């Protein structure tokens, strides 16, 4: 489920963006298939909440933020980045 706080321009802007994305998907559906609309909406919500990395959330999914896994992911990314930079130093200046 997509939720936005009323009168908050950041979340309302995101809702407007999602609404236009959904409108684009819905216009591609044939009018004779009303069951397809429900499937498209469900798949969009699944994608939005569980698979799409959100820039405003620090490139984690809304599900990761909701479950508290976002901090663990960010820490892991910092560790990997640090190891990568150290490895590059060793390669560049042996």
d(CA 66, CA 37): 27
Its pTM stands at 0.56
Q: Which two tokens stand for residue 5?
A: 């706080």
Query: Per-domain residue ranges for the chain?
Result: 1-52, 63-94
**pLDDT for residue 42:** 86
**pLDDT for residue 70:** 92
**pLDDT for residue 26:** 67
The secondary structure of the chain in percent helix, strand, coil, rounded to multiples of 5, reads: 70, 0, 25
What phi and psi values does residue 54 have, to the nearest 5 degrees?
-100, 125
Q: Which two tokens stand for residue 16?
A: 């407007």
Task: Profile the chain (94 residues) by mean pLDDT over runs of 10 residues.
Answer: 55 62 67 74 86 88 91 94 91 76
């Amino acid at each position: 489920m997509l939720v936005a706080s009323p009168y908050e321009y950041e979340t309302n802007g995101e809702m407007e963006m999602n609404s236009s994305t959904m409108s684009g998907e819905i216009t591609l559906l044939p009018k004779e298939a009303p069951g397809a609309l429900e499937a498209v909406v469900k798949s969009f919500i699944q994608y939005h909440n569980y698979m799409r990395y959100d820039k405003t959330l620090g490139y984690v999914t809304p599900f990761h933020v909701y479950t508290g896994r976002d901090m663990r992911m960010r820490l892991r990314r910092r560790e990997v980045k640090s190891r990568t930079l150290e490895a590059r130093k060793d390669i560049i200046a042996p």
